[in-house]
Amino acid sequence: MSTENSEHSASAILKSNLELILAEQSRLAKALDYGQVAAIIPYLLSARRIFVAGAGRSGFAMRSAAMRLMHFGLSVYVVGETTTPAIEKGDLLLIASGSGTTGSMVSAAQKAVAVGANVVALSTTTDSPLAAVAAHIVVVPAAQKQDHAHLISKQYAGSLFEQSLLLITDAIFQTLWDMDGRPGAELWKKHANLE
């Protein structure tokens, strides 16, 4: 196969895969319970401080959520950072785990509840140790990492769930911003300036 044919084939496969990802996210968006998602907002606005957590790629998506919530003016910390303080009563742990069984995430949620903090979880199931301790859970209709039969998603491992975390938390931020009405330039003043 010539290089030109190989590049054309790769570009066609890339286009097909991006369309697959977007179609799966569109199906997920239609199946999402928006009442469950909207119920996160009072937790965010009433929390003294917000702690976000997730393992692996879910953790990367939750870091993005932390940045946007900080831009909105909320006091936000990422669990595991050296400057993250102890969680306390009146705080919120916003946590993501597709399976709801990731040991470090379940442990963090249990510790948060033990000190009187609220836990809000994003997961694919309500039947898990994480769901059992959460004050509120948003069920994300995505595949878990072990869905090797591709029953819900044709993507690898938990990709659909991890991508949806970024989209759902961005939609939450956008909703907070719409409800608040401050101009973007005002929020931008909180953006990092030591880059």
Residue 77: phi, psi to the nearest 5? -130, 150
Look at the chain and count its residues. Answer: 195
Specify the DSSP class assigned to residue 88.
-
**C-alpha–C-alpha distance, residues 62 and 65, integer Å:** 5
Q: Which residues contact 147 (CB under 8 A, 6 or more apart)?
A: 153
- Choosing from 4, 7, 88, 162, the catalytic residue is 162
162 is catalytic: yes
Write the DSSP assignment of 94-159 as a string of letters: EEE-SSS--HHHHHHHHHHHHTT-EEEEEES-SSSHHHHH-SEEEE-----TT-TT-SS-SSSTTH
Catalytic residue numbers, as ranges = 162
